[in-house]
Amino acid sequence: MPSADRPPSRRAFLDAAGVTVAAGLLAGCSGDSARSDRPVDPTPSAPPTPTPVAVTGRHQAGVTLPRSAQPHLLALVADLGETVPPGPILAELGETIQTLAAGSDPRLLGLSPGDVTVTVGVGPRLVQAVGATLPGATDLPGFSRERVDSRERGGDLLIQICAGDALLPPLVAAALLDQAGDRVQERWRQFGRRGVEVPVAEDRTAPRNLLGFIDGIVGPHTDAEQERDLWLAGPPAVAGGTLAVLRRMEIDLTRFAALSVAEQEAVFGRRRASGEPLSGGGVDSAPGLNAKTPEGRYLVPVDAHVRRANPTVVGVGHMLRRSYSIDTPAPGLLFVSFQNDLRTFTATLSRMDTSDALLPFTTTTASATFLILPGYDPQRPLGSTLFG
């Protein structure tokens, strides 16, 4: 973070010099009319200090806290050795996460942890070993438009690292993998970033995605909605956790960009600039799925994404959805959703599979689901309610 005692940077010096030269040229042309009584400050202002996020509590950080997700994410998927017991390694990871978030771990190399969050989940194989009927014991089925290598399907362990500083996720990942040692084998990892945040409600924002549309408008945002659709109420071993789905998708940007704006909006069912439903209302308004033109045409097309994925139409709860733009291994999105019933995702995607105007522009190249473990603290280690 810039210091008030630090000399101006070369960029700041050049900026200030440019202002001085421009003022001199204007003075030469128009005399005193170009003078300004306001001094030019060549020192760049320091960025705001990120607010630390509490690590311990009923829920893990990185799902609903912070309220607006950090712009940078690293999702790391790994396997545990066949004979490695999950309990001890999860407890160690939880302790390491606490030291990293406190800034007391030397593996941060002097960087401030800022608003970093680490969220840990376990895959179906580990959950099934505890109980075949537990939430999280069921894997995702296959869907259409997938091209997923076996190494990038499933996994035993998810480590989701989010931060406002893009330098932190790889450092945190390296520290956690170092802590795990050869007990963990990495499968794949994906960096992602959120686009510019756009106001969608009085106290809420959502980012634009790689296709230019506002993403994540609908979801369980209030405490009551989150208790209903997001957090697991039981059994006790998983209470306070949730279920995560990760899907990495390539997007045919060239073909989508070739559509007119009206055609792009018909794909989503929303206005690209404002995020408002094509049926009218504000950006936070529910799409009017029965609204028609005087000629009898639906204002929200029958294959529009907001219609096909609408939770009321599908008959499921709301997902807390996060999309992160990616540019490797190909341009696209890393889709992350949190829900307390895996059917919320599978039923939605099954309905989209039959007729969703957005899906033909996508190809899924990685897919996994995880039980996000309940929250923890020094007296109740990470994973202890399930593997203790």
Q: Please provide residue 283's backbone torsions phi and psi, each rounded to the nearest 5 degrees.
A: -60, -30
111-130 pLDDT per residue, tens? 999 999 999 999 999 999 99
244-263 pLDDT per residue, tens? 999 999 999 999 999 999 99
| Nearest C-alpha neighbor of 155 from the set 104, 189, 203 | 189
pLDDT (tens place) for every residue of the chain, 388 residues total: 444 344 444 344 334 444 343 333 333 333 333 344 555 555 556 667 889 999 999 999 999 999 999 999 999 999 999 999 999 999 999 999 999 999 999 999 999 999 999 999 999 999 999 999 999 999 999 999 999 999 999 999 999 999 999 999 999 999 999 999 999 999 999 999 999 999 999 889 999 999 999 999 999 999 999 999 999 999 999 999 999 999 999 999 999 999 999 999 999 999 999 999 999 999 999 999 999 999 999 999 999 999 999 999 999 999 999 999 999 999 999 999 999 999 999 999 999 999 999 999 999 999 999 999 999 999 999 999 999 8
Predicted TM-score (pTM) of this structure: 0.88
Contact 387, 86 (CB under 8 A): yes
ω into 50 cis (within 30 of 0): no
Q: Give the per-residue pLDDT at 7.
A: 44
Strand partners, 208: 214
| Residue ranges of domains in the chain, CATH in brackets | 72-387 (3.30.70.1030)
Sign of CA dihedral 263, 264, 269, 273: negative
109: left (phi over 0), alpha (psi -120 to 50) or beta: left
Extended beta strands in 221-361, E state: 242-251, 320-326, 332-339
Q: Give the per-residue pLDDT at 203.
A: 87
Share of the chain above pLDDT 70, in %: 88
Contact 387, 131 (CB under 8 A): no
The radius of gyration of the chain's CA atoms, rounded to the nearest angstrom, is 24
